[in-house]
Amino acid sequence: MSVNSPTTLSGLVIQNNIFNGYGGVGLPTYDAGNITVQKNLFENALASSEAIQIKAATVTGGCNDSQVLDNVFSAATNNGGADVNFSCTNSNSIGADRLGNVSSGDTTGSSFVAFSGVDGGISVTNNTATTTGSTVFFFGNVSGTAVIEGNAFTGGGGNAISIHVGSDVGTSDAVNTGTFTITSNTSPAISAVSTSQRARSQRRPPW
């Protein structure tokens, strides 16, 4: 399945599907802001694949208000990317929610979710994920708010939450100037790596 629009869509819901044995990307979207992906199963990805890529290809704000809710990811990503890869660099998008998802079985240093080009209005809450890479990965450019709350993360070779500026990781994402609120999660480690950013973390046991 592929979702592509020359202008930002509104109100599209992708629900109650099984994505099994896909190659490349199970669900790629292009400029499909205001999309809700919920209650789907992504499993058994072929080699060098990932579950969801939400991309801003040509439209400013092409990733606006994207929601990924209550999905199950089982061996869904193995390309070193992320189960949900917000590939929105330079789009100045706002609003991305990850709520109530469960992920396990990722390999090759893959993440649960990665953000590039989403400037703020980010919420990662009440998810359960076991990954081999950094579970939540920020490439930079966060000028608004990012809330990471109530999650249960188990990592492998990476960190639970990794915050970067684009020059650290080979993208054009700018320095973070927004506020990161990290609270009430269960995870062994947090890494915050960037230059000249304001990051606020509220940690409650167990960490």
pLDDT tens-place string over residues 88-120? 999 999 999 999 999 999 999 999 999 999 999
Edge-to-edge strands, sheet with 18-20:
18-20, 41-43, 72-74, 102-104, 128-130, 152-154
Nearest to 88 by CA among 124, 39, 55: 55
Contact call for residues 175 and 154 (beta carbons, < 8 A): no
Residues 6+ apart with CB under 8 A from 74: 41, 42, 43, 44, 103, 104, 105
Q: What is the pLDDT of residues 31-55, one digit of tens each?
A: 988 899 999 999 999 999 999 999 9
Task: Give the bridge partners for 115, in sequence order.
Answer: 86, 138
pLDDT for position 167: 84
Residue 60 has pLDDT above 80, yes or no: yes
Q: What is the mean pLDDT of residues 141-154?
A: 95
